[in-house]
Amino acid sequence: MPKRIVIEAKQIEEIETARKKNKSKKAERRLKAILMYAHGKACEEIASATDYNEGYIYKLAAKYCKNGLEAIIGNHYKGNRRNMSFEEETELLKEFKADAEKGQIVSTGKIKEAYEKKTGKSLDTNKGQIYRVLKRHKWRQVMPRSKHPNKASDEVIEASKKLKLR
């Protein structure tokens, strides 16, 4: 059986004030588990109250003692899992934007090749990534309005409007 981690009264106050300021449900569960652990509750009891595994509760308390409150409350996921930052993507798209403003046709294939060359990674496994990059930078595909190949001419359409049945 592992040795029980001791959480001091000063740390308990810190946890309680953090619970009052907290707005995240996940962080609230972790703080509640640590607070119960600090008050001497058994891991089985904490596990039933918080739906955590007993082993995780001990690891949570150890993590708190080692790294502080930020290890429990803070979100360690950074969120941006892209290959480049927004500014780097803007820099990459700048030359293509200049071509588009001149009236040239810019294809996503060329942008994808430039993106892969700059990052050194292939986008073949992630087919939609280049389209998400373009959407992030407010690019959109502009196409001419489609016309049916067998559509009547404008003169015929106008003439048919003038005909009346008796």
pLDDT digits (tens, 9 = 90+) for 104-158: 888 889 999 999 999 888 888 887 888 989 999 998 877 777 778 888 888 888 8
Question: In the chain, where are the structural domains located?
Answer: 9-73, 86-136
Phi/psi of residue 85, nearest 5 degrees: -80, 170
| Residue 93 clears pLDDT 90, i.e. is over it | yes
Quote the pTM value. Answer: 0.49
How many angstroms separate the Cα of 122 from the Cα of each of 16, 19, 108, 128, 134?
A: 48, 44, 14, 12, 17
Per-residue pLDDT tens over the stretch 49-72: 999 998 899 899 999 989 888 888
Predicted local distance difference test score (pLDDT) of residue 120: 87
Per-residue pLDDT tens over the stretch 27-56: 999 999 999 999 999 989 999 999 999 889
Predicted local distance difference test score (pLDDT) of residue 89: 92
Round to the nearest angstrom and report the end-to-end CA distance of the chain.
Answer: 100
Per-residue pLDDT tens over the stretch 67-91: 888 888 877 666 566 788 889 999 9
CA distance 96 to 123: 19
CA distance 71 to 66: 9
How many angstroms separate the Cα of 45 from the Cα of each of 57, 99, 105?
A: 11, 65, 66
Of 28 and 3, which is predicted with more confidence? 28
Conformational region of residue 151, where left means phi above 0, alpha means psi within -120 to 50, and beta covers everything else = beta
